[in-house]
Amino acid sequence: MQQRFQPFTRLAAVILLVIGCLIVLRPFLAAVLFAAAITISSWPLYLRLLARLKQRRTIAALVMSVGLTLLIIVPLALVTWNIADNASSYYDQFKASLDSGTLDPPAWLKDIPLVGEMADTYLRKLLHSREELLAVAKNLLEPARRLLLGGGIVLGSGVAQVSLAVFVSFFLYRDGHAIVQALATGMDKLIGEQGATVADTVSRTVRGVMYGILGTALAQAVVAAIGFLIAGVPAVALMSVATFLFSLIPVGPPLIWGAATIWLFNHGDTGWAIFMFFWGMFVISGVDNVIKPLLISRGSSLPFILVLLGVMGGVLAFGFVGLFIGPTLLAVGLGLLRNWTADQL
C-alpha cells in the first residue's frame, strides 16, 4: 500500500517544492526569465569568447556581462544628453518668442477642417496673454507632474529589471554548462527520449525570437538614423533610440518617422517631408518585413497576432522586459506544440 502511493508522494513533494521556489523568485521572475533569454541567445558568442580566453569561465562571463552593461548605459547616456540639450534649446526659443510677442500657432492649424479656425483663434489669444497662459500652465502642472512621475517610475523599474537580468546572466554564463547538464538530466527523467528534442526546440525558438525582435529593432534604428540625418531632423540620437524602442511594438516605428515627417512639413521643408515619408514607408518599415521573418524563421515562425498579444501581455505581466519575454514565451509554447503534434501525426 505504501509503495503504491510512493510515486504520488514524490510528485506532490516536487510540485510543492517548485511552487515554493516560484513564490520566492516571483519578485525577480521577469529579470530571471529575461536573463535566461539573453544567455541562450548569446551562448554561441560566449562559447567563442570562452575558447579565446582558454576556458576561463569567470573572466568570459564577466566580459559578457560588462558588454551587456555597456549596451544599456551608452544608449541611456545618449538619450539623457539629447533630452537635456534639446529641452534647454527649445525652452530658450520658446521664452525668446514669448517675450518678443512673435510666438504664433503653426500655419497648418487653421487649415484643419471644422476645428482649425477655432483652435487657431484660441491659441493666438492664449499665446498673446501672459495671464491666461500662466493660468493654463498651472492647470496642466499637476497632470504633467503625475505623467513625469509615472514615466520615471516605469523607466526606473525597467532599468532595475534589466540591471538585475545582466547580474543574473553573469552566473548563467559562468555556470551554464552545469545548468544545462542538470536540466538535461531532469527533462530526461520527466519526458524520456524527447527531452533533447524539446531542449533543442526551446533554444532555437528563443534565439530566433530574440534575434528577430532585437535585430529588427536595431536595423530599423540604424536606417531611421540615416534618414533623419539626411533630412535634417534634430535630436537624431534620441529619435533613433525611440525608433529602436518602438520597433519592439508592432506598428510602432511609423509613430516616430511619421512625427518627423510632420515636423519637417510644419517647418516648410516639404521636399524633405516627402522624402522622410517614403524613406519610412519603404526603407524603415521594409526592414520589418524582410529581416524579422528571416531571423525568426531560424527558430519558430510567430504569427503577427501572437507577437502583438505577447508584447501587450508581457508588458502587463512583467513590465518593460515583458516586451521581450512575452513573445519569446509564446513562441516557445507554439514551437513545443508544433513539435508534439508533429510526433503524433
Please report, for residues 103, 144, 191, the alpha-carbon distance to residue 129 in angstroms, rounded to integers and kept in the order given: 11, 22, 75
- CA–CA separation, 20 and 301 (whole Å): 34
Query: Among candidates 244, 282, 240, which has minimal Cα distance to 260?
Result: 240
Q: In this structure, are residues 341 and 325 in contact, taking their beta carbons and an 8 Å threshold?
A: no
Q: In this structure, are residues 123 and 103 in contact, taking their beta carbons and an 8 Å threshold?
A: no
218 class by beta-carbon count within 10 Å (0-12 exposed, 13-18 middle, 19+ buried): middle
Domain ranges of the chain: 29-174, 193-345
Digits of tens for pLDDT over the chain (345 positions)?
555 656 667 778 778 888 888 888 888 888 888 888 888 888 888 889 988 988 888 999 999 999 888 887 777 777 777 766 666 666 666 666 666 666 666 666 666 666 667 877 777 777 666 677 677 767 777 777 787 777 777 777 777 888 888 899 999 899 888 887 877 777 676 666 666 666 776 777 777 777 777 888 888 999 999 999 999 888 788 888 888 888 877 778 888 899 889 888 877 788 898 999 999 988 888 887 777 766 665 555 667 677 778 777 877 877 767 777 777 778 777 777 776 776 555
SS3 at position 291: helix
Note the residue count of the chain.
345
Q: Residue 154, Cα to own-chain centre: how many angstroms? A: 13
